[in-house]
Amino acid sequence: MGSTVEYPEKLSDIIASLPEVSGGFLYSPELGVYSNQTAGLCNDPSLYNVSVKLSKIVSMMSVHFHDTGGIRVCFKDLILCGMEIGNGHWLFLLHQPSLSPGMIKMTVQMALNIAPEPSTQTEISKPGHEIEVESESNTTDNVVEILMAPESELRAPLTKIENNLAQYIGPVAGLVFQDSVEVWAKNCTPSLEHLPELVTMMAKEIDDGGNREDFIESLKNISEES
């Protein structure tokens, strides 16, 4: 694999070799977003917000999904895909939906001399902010899957809580939701009457005080609505 200093040059080569790619950038927890090649697509404040969200996502993945090697954020007309390229660095590309993940992965691997290996991909869809984690070793009896099953009385209120949370913290809401529900389910019996405790737990992930209060207010009757 090439050294870290080569990543910006390799990013330029990758963008140039794939006509469907509109731009890209590199990210690491230490540097945040760098080597920005998204001129005309997004501004510095937008990239700063992306960097903050990615820091949270990467942090959560390091704890919960050790073998995660990719992220896909699906917007209306563009997809933001990212893959870990080594030394804690990630490469992100903004591309048209017609470009397959397989072609991207192969191009990046060839450019950076990365040996192909199995990986898990975290997919984030917008709107809806649904996050799906695929793993070769799927765990059974996943508490979130059980509570979100069609026959569960908690499915509707939990869906509302996740959607409301996404309005304030964006795509990372899916990971926060899953993590919070798992902790909540361990600390008490999942039920309609205990939903306010879950809302309070998730509200702590909202940095802005006003938004935090609005989130709690929007769900104050969540236990009674189902």
Instruction: Tell me how far CA of residue 144 lies from CA of 65, 174, 177, 182, 183, in angstroms.
Output: 15, 11, 9, 7, 11
**pLDDT value of position 216:** 94
The larger pLDDT score, comparing residue 66 to residue 211, is at 211
Provide the pLDDT for residue 67. 58
AA identity, residue 70:
G
Task: Give the homologous superfamily in CATH for domain 4-133.
Answer: Dynein light chain 2a, cytoplasmic (3.30.450.30)
Is the confidence at residue 128, as pLDDT, over 50? no
* Dist. CA 26–CA 14, nearest whole Å: 12
Rg (the chain; Cα; Å): 19
Gap between the Cα atoms of 115 and 102, Å rounded: 14
Q: Is 88 helix (H, G, I), strand (E, B) or coil?
A: coil
- Copy the structure tokens of residue 222: 């969540």
Tokens of 57: 């996502």
- Return mean pLDDT, the chain: 78
CA distances (Å), 87 to each of 71, 144, 197, 207, in order?
A: 17, 32, 39, 29
Residue 173 · residue 129 · CB < 8 Å: yes
Is the overall model pTM greater than 0.85, yes or no? Answer: no
Q: How many CB atoms lie within 10 A of CB 38?
A: 20
pLDDT tens digit sequence for 129-180: 333 333 333 333 477 888 888 878 888 999 999 999 999 988 888 888 988 9
**Residue, of 72 and 119, whose pLDDT is higher:** 72
Alpha carbon 187 to chain centroid, angstroms: 25
Q: Is the pLDDT confidence value at 182 over 70?
A: yes
Q: What token pair was written down for 193?
A: 């009457």
> At 200, which amino acid appears?
T
What pLDDT shows up at residue 168? Answer: 92
Q: Which two tokens stand for residue 212?
A: 């935090």
Asked if 135 and 69 touch (Cβ cutoff 8 Å), the reply is no
Q: Is the pLDDT of residue 41 over 50?
A: yes
